């Protein structure tokens, strides 16, 4: 009973304390796609991805009730980082749902105009962005004024918020953004950063936002990192990044009104400072399996399982060739770094005879029959010297010629049904990184699905005339990109290939660009008319070094472009169920497909292939 009352009390008091309007709340997840399209349409950086901002906890000046409710309050920030645009997970700062939606719209429009690299101070950049946005999008004026006046009204109702000079200036700036210039000129020292924050403005302390995110991310958001990376190792890596992130003074901020900014509490969160950078990956790996902290219901089941054991050289797969040097694109320098990566050709150490389920074998048989049928589909060839039917069109033309007094030796008056011969090579490139070790359903991991897909795909294609090859890849830093030539173009489908497919095991990371370049080279020497590179992946490009986030994405994009200039069409099939905005950026909107239910992939892939190559 006591507990029950306690819960009720907690519920009541937190509700009373939060100056939010949960009934009118808008979830970012419901509008994420819309907002990211709008962000780009408003002129935002195409490469940025829209992400949830993370809660910041702090103890600040709060009203009585909120102090009563709990010692810590949550604050959600929206800010711009190097790779992402962060928006609050939900928006409930207005009592009206429509207004909350428009607050999101306003934030993406503002973010699109915000000049993160400008020299000016935060307030100036912020006010500039506001006036720019309103100037460029006059239709937003009414929205903005509605948002601003409503917000000022809400501020007036916050009892602890004293209407001092700073507060009045803030209200003036909110209601009359045109006055910003004069106000800033008259009060060059005006600094409202410690004042009650404004949700329609930029974040005054985005550096801290980045810090918090970086450290929290490792524990909470394993989504980026669960791809076979390791909790602790990441922490360590993150720390290295802080130094560069310090410059990142830019961003937007939205928040829950009950909270007041203070960052004394951030310091203890930054536990990474205790750690030392470790150079040796294998040493790090030893620590790693002890740590995989996952919090929250959103994380995939698969992320809970980490197989972080880096095998000894006698356990590892066999290296056939380790001498293939490939370049890599560095977007910061706009430079293709020659011979930057080394690609090793690998083979599984143990190749067991395959054990594909009878159900799957049955499916393979069926698919094969379908593809045989497709391959057998015939076409009428006109104007043949011999054939089963008369080519009437030709015949009429000839009659006309004859009537006209011309007799030509054109005897090609027949039509014949013949097999439609096309000249096509396809390389299927599968991601074998450790992230594929995660579970997508109760009984199958991503890697199982990939193996099943490769199996069905190879069976289906062996029934056609198309030349095809299968490769798998993973990577561990730039000097060890591992490529498994599972089936070459010249091999025929065989038991050995089936065994190889079934013996694949996941490992390491996803240096996608390098693998694409190798595959491109393999396809380039093919003499067929059409060349297709089909990429099968479950996540973003990433590796243990700097190859992640924007760097990895830009390199992969570049590799795809290189393939394109060599006449190879790249198509990506992904089972990443996150909101992957990076895909169209890398591949172009028409060149990728998301398979929503991963377990359907094996069936879908061959069908997709036949559609693509129609």
Partner 1 sequence: MSDNSLPLYIPQSNEVEVFETAFKNQLPLMLKGPTGCGKTRFVAHMAEKLGRPLYTVACHDDLTAADLVGRYLIEGGQTVWRDGPLTRAVREGGICYLDEVVEARKDTTVVIHPLSDDRRVLPIDRTGEQLHAPDDFMLVISYNPGYQNLLKGLKPSTRQRFVSLTFDYPKSDIEQSIVRKETGLDEFTVRQLVDLSNSLRRLKDHDLEESVSTRLIVYTATLIQAGMNPLQACRSALIEPLSDDEEVVAALMDVVNAKLDVF
Binding site for partner 1 (CB under 8 A): 33-35, 37-38, 40-43, 46, 105, 109, 136-143, 396-397, 399-401, 403-404, 406, 530, 564, 567, 569, 584-585, 588-591
Sign of CA dihedral 268, 274, 277, 280: negative
CA 296, 300, 303 angle in degrees (round to 5)?
95
Cβ 348 to partner 1, closest distance in Å?
34
Q: Rounded to a whole number, what is the distance in angstroms from the first to the last CA of the chain? A: 68
192 vs 584, beta carbon nearer partner 1: 584
* CB neighbour list of residue 362: distance below 8 Å, 6 or more residues apart: none
- Render the burial of 481-512: b for 16+ CB within 10 Å, e for the rest: bbbbbbbebeeebeeebbebbbbbbbbbbbbb
Can you tell me whether residue 610 is helix, strand or coil? helix
Cβ 34 to partner 1, closest distance in Å?
4
Q: Where is 87: in which H helix or E strand?
A: strand 84-87
157 vs 614, beta carbon nearer partner 1: 614
Other Cβ atoms closer than 10 A to 614 = 7
313 vs 589, beta carbon nearer partner 1: 589
Cβ 401 to partner 1, closest distance in Å?
6
On whether the CB atoms of residues 272 and 232 are closer than 8 A, the answer is: no
49 vs 203, beta carbon nearer partner 1: 49
DSSP labels, 198-234: -TTSB-S-HHHHHHHHHHHHHHS--TTTTTT--HHHH
Torsion of CA 506, 508, 513, 519, to 10 degrees: -40
311 vs 567, beta carbon nearer partner 1: 567
Cβ 600 to partner 1, closest distance in Å?
21
Cβ 438 to partner 1, closest distance in Å?
28
CA 50/CA 28 separation, integer angstroms: 10
CA 275/CA 237 separation, integer angstroms: 10
CA 49/CA 309 separation, integer angstroms: 32
CA distances from 339 to 180, 325, 329, 553 (A): 53, 5, 11, 19
Q: Where is 484: in which H helix or E strand?
A: strand 481-487
Cβ 256 to partner 1, closest distance in Å?
25
Cβ 336 to partner 1, closest distance in Å?
21
DSSP-derived letter for residue 294 is -
33 vs 365, beta carbon nearer partner 1: 33
Cβ 518 to partner 1, closest distance in Å?
21
CA 44/CA 457 separation, integer angstroms: 40
Cβ 99 to partner 1, closest distance in Å?
13
493 vs 591, beta carbon nearer partner 1: 591
Select from 238, 213, 235, 237 the least CA-distant residue to 292.
235
Torsion of CA 241, 246, 251, 254, to 10 degrees: 90
Other Cβ atoms closer than 10 A to 232 = 22
* CB neighbour list of residue 144: distance below 8 Å, 6 or more residues apart: 106, 130, 133, 134, 177, 200
37 vs 168, beta carbon nearer partner 1: 37
Cβ 102 to partner 1, closest distance in Å?
9
47 vs 512, beta carbon nearer partner 1: 47
41 vs 168, beta carbon nearer partner 1: 41
372 vs 393, beta carbon nearer partner 1: 393
144 vs 356, beta carbon nearer partner 1: 144
Cβ 136 to partner 1, closest distance in Å?
8
501 vs 583, beta carbon nearer partner 1: 583
58 vs 609, beta carbon nearer partner 1: 609
H-assigned helices in 28-139:
28-41, 64-69, 97-113, 122-136
- Token readout for 265 is 């509490």
Residue with token string 């992320």: 303
Strands 568-574, 592-594: pairing is parallel
Cβ 461 to partner 1, closest distance in Å?
18
Cβ 22 to partner 1, closest distance in Å?
24
Cβ 27 to partner 1, closest distance in Å?
15
Q: Where is 55: in which H helix or E strand?
A: strand 55-58
């Amino acid at each position: 009973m006591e507990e029950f009352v306690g819960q009720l009390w907690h519920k009541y008091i937190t509700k009373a304390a939060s100056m939010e309007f949960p009934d009118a709340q808008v979830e970012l997840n419901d509008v994420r796609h819309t907002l990211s399209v709008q962000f780009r349409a408003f002129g935002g950086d195409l490469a940025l991805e829209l992400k949830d901002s993370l809660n910041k906890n702090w103890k600040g000046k709060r009203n009585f009730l909120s102090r009563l409710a709990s010692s810590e309050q949550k604050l959600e920030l929206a800010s711009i980082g190097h790779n992402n645009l962060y928006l609050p997970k939900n928006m409930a700062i207005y009592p009206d749902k429509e207004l909350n939606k428009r607050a999101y719209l306003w934030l993406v429009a503002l973010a699109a105009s915000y000049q993160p690299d400008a020299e000016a101070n935060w307030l100036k950049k912020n006010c500039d962005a506001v006036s720019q946005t309103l100037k460029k999008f006059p239709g937003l004026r009414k929205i903005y004024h509605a948002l601003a006046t409503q917000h000022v009204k809400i501020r007036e109702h916050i009892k602890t918020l004293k209407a001092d000079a700073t507060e009045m200036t803030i209200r003036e700036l909110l209601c009359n953004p045109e006055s910003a210039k004069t106000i800033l000129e008259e009060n060059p020292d005006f600094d409202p950063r410690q004042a009650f924050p404004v949700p329609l403005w930029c974040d005054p302390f985005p550096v801290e936002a980045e810090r918090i995110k970086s450290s929290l991310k490792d524990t909470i958001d394993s989504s980026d990192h669960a791809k076979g990376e390791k909790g602790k190792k990441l922490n360590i890596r993150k720390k290295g990044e802080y130094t560069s992130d310090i410059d990142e003074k830019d961003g937007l901020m939205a928040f829950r009104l009950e909270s007041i900014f203070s960052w004394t509490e951030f310091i203890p969160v930054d536990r990474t400072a205790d750690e030392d950078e470790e150079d040796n990956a294998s040493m790090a790996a030893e620590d790693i399996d002890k740590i995989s902290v996952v919090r929250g219901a959103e994380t995939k089941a698969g992320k809970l399982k980490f197989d972080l054991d880096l095998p000894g050289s006698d356990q590892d797969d066999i290296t056939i060739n380790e001498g293939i040097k490939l370049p890599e694109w560095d977007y910061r320098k706009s430079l293709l770094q020659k011979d930057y990566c080394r690609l090793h050709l690998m083979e599984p150490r143990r190749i067991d005879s395959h054990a594909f389920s009878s159900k799957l074998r049955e499916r393979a048989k069926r698919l094969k029959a379908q593809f045989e049928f497709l391959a057998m589909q015939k076409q009428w060839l006109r104007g043949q010297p011999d054939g089963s039917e008369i080519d009437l069109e030709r015949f009429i033309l000839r009659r006309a010629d004859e009537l006209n007094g011309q007799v030509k030796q054109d005897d090609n008056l027949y039509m014949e049904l013949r097999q439609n011969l096309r000249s096509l090579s396809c390389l299927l490139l599968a991601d074998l990184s450790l992230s594929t070790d995660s579970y997508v359903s109760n009984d199958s991991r991503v890697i199982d699905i990939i193996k099943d897909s490769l199996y069905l795909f190879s069976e289906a294609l062996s029934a056609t005339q198309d030349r095809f090859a299968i490769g798998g890849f993973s990577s561990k830093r730039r000097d060890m990109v591992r490529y498994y030539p599972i089936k070459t173009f010249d091999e025929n489908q065989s038991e050995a290939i089936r065994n190889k497919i079934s013996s694949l095991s996941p490992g390491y990371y996803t240096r996608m660009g390098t693998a694409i370049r190798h595959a491109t080279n393999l396809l380039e020497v093919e003499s067929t008319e059409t060349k297709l590179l089909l990429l099968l992946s479950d996540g973003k490009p990433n590796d243990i070094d700097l190859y992640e986030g924007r760097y990895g994405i830009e390199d992969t994009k570049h590799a795809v472009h290189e393939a394109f200039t060599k006449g190879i069409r790249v198509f990506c099939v992904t089972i990443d169920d996150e909101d992957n905005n990076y895909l169209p950026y890398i591949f172009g909107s028409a060149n990728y497909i998301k398979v929503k239910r991963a377990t359907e992939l094996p069936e879908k892939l061959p069908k997709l292939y036949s559609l693509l190559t129609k």
